[in-house]
């Protein structure tokens, strides 16, 4: 009864007519287990969340310790609590000086909502520039700045004054002007099928924002937290955003996000109007304990340093004549095939064989691989053998 598909399909709202539909009783490391004891290798980290694996013992312990002290005690921004304090201090110590102040929220889309409001309030401007094919979340503001028109049409009217430019195309930077409040960009476009911009482009974008006074928001909700081989992907390009957004893997498996900026910029949320952005649960102490332990594990286990070698190993093993292209940065992959139908078969075959790969929101001809960064060489070899067989059988 607990794992009833009938209950799942009828009493939990569905988001598609073809849910992945496996039952999970427990999880540990890179593995998920069904109630019947079938083991699945999680090669997608619950979509970019379990970067240090499922139920890392240090994360579980930190959560238990916090639960024994207190849960929610007050809305965001009023009481001084040890764990959110320590998390904010830790995050500031890992980021450039101008990103010294974080506003803690509950999800990725909320982090982007806060970032967009902050940019409008700080600049006094209204225009927002975003990118074609981008994904920033499913609430109205984040959806407004996401680039997939098919996903937006039914929900219009959305935010006005949003313009879209082409990712990694320098000529389009001319659309950024003194009217622009902010440019919002995924440092690495994830759901467009892993698109990596050039360093020259990122530097030109930074320069254009500086010249016009437009704020640069980098959304690292999917590509942050070590996924690309740096704690945050912007570090690859020698630039620093004005506002950074994070979520997903930030919480190590509990829901938490943040938008991060300078203390000076954040101050504008305290007046005109007072309480310019508020949230009841943002900075929930249990989620903060999990996030703090996750950052500590990433450092203590030197996981980020190992990302590139592990990524290269995957890439060297995934050779098959039906693979059209592999796009990769660190341990984030899009694997392209000729048709969406073939991709569906491969994902289904891999699932049957106990390996979880998954689709992208806006790129049907490829599937994603984004395993926990803790995956071992042996596990990479085993997973790749299963994927190659799934491709062969498709
Ligand atoms: C780049 C990016 N931004 C924002 C979001 C939204 O995050 P959430 O689902 O936590 O609202 C996602 C989720 O996939 C994402 O990939």
What is the rounded average pLDDT of the residues 290-303? 98
Q: Is 345 exposed, middle or buried (0-12, 13-18, 19+ CB in 10 A)?
A: middle
Judged against a pLDDT cut of 90, whether residue 1 lies above it is answered with no
What is the rounded average pLDDT of the residues 233-242? 98
Task: Provide CB contacts within 8 A for 71, sequence distance 6+.
Answer: 284, 285, 286
Calculate what percentage of the chain has a pLDDT beyond 70: 100
Structure tokens at 103: 């506003």
Instruction: Give 15-73 pLDDT, tens digit per residue.
Output: 999 999 999 999 999 999 999 999 999 999 999 999 999 999 999 999 999 999 999 99
Residue from 248, 250, 363 whose mutation best tests the ligand 1 pocket (most atoms within 8 A of CB) = 248
What is the rounded average pLDDT of the residues 370-385? 98
Planar angle of CA 369, 227, 203, nearest 5 degrees = 115
Instruction: Give 314-354 pLDDT, tens digit per residue.
Output: 999 999 999 999 999 999 999 999 999 999 999 999 999 99
Contact of 165 with 175, CB cutoff 8 Å: yes
Q: pTM to 2 decimals?
A: 0.98
SS3 175: helix
The answer, yes or no, to whether any atom of ligand 1 lies below 6 A from the CB of 247, is yes
Ligand 1 atom with the smallest distance to the CA of 107 is: 10
Ligand 1 atom with the smallest distance to the CA of 109 is: 11
Residue from 137, 189, 362 whose mutation best tests the ligand 1 pocket (most atoms within 8 A of CB) = 137
Q: What does the pLDDT read at residue 271?
A: 97
Q: What does the pLDDT read at residue 193?
A: 97
Q: Tell me what the pLDDT averaged over the chain comes to.
A: 98
Q: What does the pLDDT read at residue 246?
A: 99
Residue 163: count of CB within 10 angstroms of its CB: 15
Instruction: Give 105-114 pLDDT, tens digit per residue.
Output: 999 999 999 9
């Amino acid at each position: 009864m607990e794992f009833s598909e009938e209950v799942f399909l009828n009493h939990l709202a569905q988001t598609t007519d073809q849910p992945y539909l496996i039952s999970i009783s427990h999880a540990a490391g890179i593995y998920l287990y069904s109630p019947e004891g079938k083991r699945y290798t999680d090669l997608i980290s619950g979509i970019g969340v379990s970067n240090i694996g499922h139920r890392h013992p240090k994360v579980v312990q930190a959560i238990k310790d916090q639960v024994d002290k207190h849960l929610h005690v007050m809305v965001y921004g009023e009481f001084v609590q040890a764990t959110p304090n320590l998390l904010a201090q830790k995050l500031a110590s890992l980021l450039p000086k101008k990103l010294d102040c974080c506003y803690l929220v509950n999800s990725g889309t909320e982090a982007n909502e806060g970032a967009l409001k902050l940019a409008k309030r700080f600049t006094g401007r209204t225009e927002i520039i975003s990118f074609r094919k981008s994904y920033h979340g499913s609430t109205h503001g984040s959806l407004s700045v996401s680039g997939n028109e098919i996903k937006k049409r039914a929900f219009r009217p959305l935010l006005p004054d949003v313009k879209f430019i082409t990712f990694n195309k320098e000529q389009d930077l001319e659309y950024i002007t003194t009217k622009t409040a902010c440019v919002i960009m995924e440092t690495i476009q994830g759901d467009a099928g892993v698109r990596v911009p050039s360093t020259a482009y990122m530097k030109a974008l930074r320069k254009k924002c500086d010249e016009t006074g437009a704020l640069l928001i980098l959304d690292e909700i999917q590509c942050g937290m070590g996924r690309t081989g740096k704690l945050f992907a912007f570090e690859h390009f020698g630039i620093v955003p004005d506002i950074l957004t994070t979520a997903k893997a930030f919480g190590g498996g509990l829901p938490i996000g943040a938008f991060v900026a300078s203390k000076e910029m954040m101050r504008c949320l305290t007046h005109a109007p007072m309480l310019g952005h508020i949230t009841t649960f943002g900075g929930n102490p249990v989620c903060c304990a999990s996030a703090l332990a996750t950052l500590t594990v990433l450092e203590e286990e030197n996981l980020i340093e190992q990302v590139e070698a592990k990524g290269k190993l995957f890439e060297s093993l995934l050779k098959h004549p039906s693979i059209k292209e592999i796009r990769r940065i660190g341990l984030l992959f899009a694997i392209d095939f000729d048709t969406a139908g073939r991709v569906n078969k491969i994902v289904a075959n891999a699932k049957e064989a106990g390996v979880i790969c998954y689709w992208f929101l806006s790129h049907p001809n490829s599937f994603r691989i984004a395993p926990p960064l803790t995956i071992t060489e042996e596990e990479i070899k085993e997973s790749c053998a299963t994927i190659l067989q799934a491709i062969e059988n498709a």
